[in-house]
Chain A
Amino acid sequence: MPRATSDAKLLIQSLSNAYAATPTNLKIIDLYVICAVATALIQVAYMGLVGSFPFNSFLSGVLSCIGTAVLAVCLRIQVNKDNKEFKDLPPERAFADFVLCNLVLHLVIMNFLG
């Protein structure tokens, strides 16, 4: 057991060390993702309390949060300099695709919401 806890502590330490080394823009994206997922979880908790009556509103709320999270992760993948596959992709292009996809997502959300 002490081996496990010390292992766990070591694990967490090395994780946080490795994470601190990531560039700032990626950290911003990570923050954004965490916010979005948190909002989604709050909504699911609310649905559990109140019931799922306007189901389409619930779905659009949750899926909009999860959708922005997923798209942000995609952006992070494409912008990450450690990623060999995307070294030819200019980050502006990645961001433009990201904006387009978000536009479509939010358009659909607005349609489905009410």
Chain B
Amino acid sequence: MATPRHLLLLLALALAPLLAVAAAEGAAEEGPRGRRLLVLLDDLAVRSSHSAFFGSLQARGFDLDFRLADDPKLSLHRYGQYLYDGLVLFAPSTPRFGGSVDQNAVLEFIDAGHDMILAADSSASDLIRGIATECGVDFDEDPEAMVVDHINYAVTDVDGDHTLIAGDDLIQSDVILGSKKIEAPVLFRGIGHAVNPSNNLVLKVLSASPSAYSANPKTKLASPPSLTGSAISLVSVMQARNNARVLVSGSLDLFSNRFLKSGVQKAGSKKRYERAGNEQFVTETSKWVFHERGHLKAVNVKHHKVGETNEPGMYRINDDLEYSVEIYEWSGTSWKPYVADDVQLQFFMMSPYVLKTMSTDKKGLYSISFKVPDVYGVFQFKVEYQRLGYTGLSFTKQIPVRPYRHNEYERFITSAYPYYTASFSSMGAFFIFSFVYLYHK
């Protein structure tokens, strides 16, 4: 029996969440990345076996779309717009993607500025290996190989199985791994990969210990393995030039519920940890990958002459000018001022004529004032800021610098006074002379 009062109450109850959401949407700031993730699996069972990881993602506000990797209706974009903002590839053994997705489509997705988490294991197909190589990560070419470590393995029930690694050689970066140190080792079972040391876009997040090597665990070693020691990377990240981030892990089990919840004891050590470091590790790295941490933006580039407020189109040599820029960092929910003491400004024309560290007011404003050099030309205000784990800031502003105008020099030069007097005296002498000459008798 619905009386008008009850109806009104129902209506209010129905609308309230909407209003709340609307209010929340309005109040919440727009982060640098969207919230729609496509999760590609080669076996739907992975959805439940890795539910803890997926649940943590959903708790942070992501909308996950689970699909089979060879789903014929798979598509990353429609009518020119991308349908998703990030990709989680937990399909190591897929030989081919379905629908309109293939290796090139995935790479274009990354080049369009979207992030990806890629997990492989010993059944990794050539497709997955190819994607990883395009991102700068080379898996071991031997398809049967796994990472084996006879010294730093995790103790398990199966004796002699040294493929379960307890990795604790983590990268030293608070940005990537969070401010809280990961105490427990991270459990890993899978294939190893190498990164090119001259490639400055790729970083090793979790490296193997010096005693690890990558080989087939079931057969005897015929020849020395190609990948050994700390050169083996277990988990790597790549930050492309357009700041798209890719996490490549050689083990799908790293993310599984089993590893997240199990305890770990390193072989040869007495300490047993109740919880492996996997949960903290995957949470923090996924936060970094999806740009919830370590994302900088620079806005409001301003420059003007000291004492003025408008931005001139051209400076003059030996002018005094001020330059300022605001840099913010995304904290996961809002833009916070970025505080650092190493942001530098270059006044650049084929080489930096002025290179100064900018001072900050701790609220995100970086400013510097300097004198324009004594050279004219077309200069650039150049800021190149690349710091480990942070997005790269690289922006320039072109500004010409002109020489003195003809009336901007010193008006009267003291050492030239004799010349001035001589010239005027010759004028005067001419005047007197003409009088004398004309009127003498």
Contact = CB atoms under 8 A, between A and B. Distances in A.
A102 B419 contact: no
B426 A65 contact: yes
B416 A54 contact: yes
Interface stretch (B11-19, B59-67, B250-258, B430-438): B430-438
B430 A106 contact: yes
Contacts of A60: 419, 423
Interface of A: 24-25, 28-29, 32, 35-36, 39-40, 42-43, 46, 50, 53-54, 57-58, 60-62, 64-65, 68, 72, 95, 99, 102, 106, 109-110, 113-114
Given A24-B440, A46-B418, A114 B423 contact: no
Contacts of B423: 60-61, 64, 106, 109-110, 113
Interface in B387-420: 411-413, 415-416, 418-420
B425 A39 contact: yes
Contacts of A43: 418-419, 422
A66 B418 CA distance: 16
A109 B411 CA distance: 16
Contacts of B430: 68, 102, 106
Identify whether the interface residues of B are mostly helix, strand, loop, or mixed.
helix
Q: Which of B411, B425, B426, B429 has the most CB of A within 10 A?
A: B426
| Closest CB pairs A-B (n = 7) | A61-B419, A57-B416, A57-B419, A61-B422, A54-B416, A64-B423, A64-B426
A51 to B, nearest CB: 8
Q: Which of B416, B427, B429, B436 has the largest number of chain A CB atoms within 10 A? A: B416
Given A54-B413, A106-B427, A106-B430, A25 B419 contact: no
Contacts of A57: 413, 416, 419-420
Contacts of B422: 39-40, 42-43, 61-62, 64-65
A7 to B, nearest CB: 36
Interface of B: 411-413, 415-416, 418-420, 422-423, 425-427, 429-430, 433-434, 436-438, 440
B438 A95 contact: yes
B434 A99 contact: yes
A61 B420 CA distance: 7
Contacts of B420: 57, 61, 113
Given A36-B426, A68-B429, A28 B436 contact: yes
B425 to A, nearest CB: 7
Contacts of B433: 28, 32, 72
Contact of A53 (B415, B426, B437): B415
B437 A28 contact: yes
B393 to A, nearest CB: 46
B415 A54 contact: yes
A60 B424 CA distance: 11
Contacts of A62: 419, 422
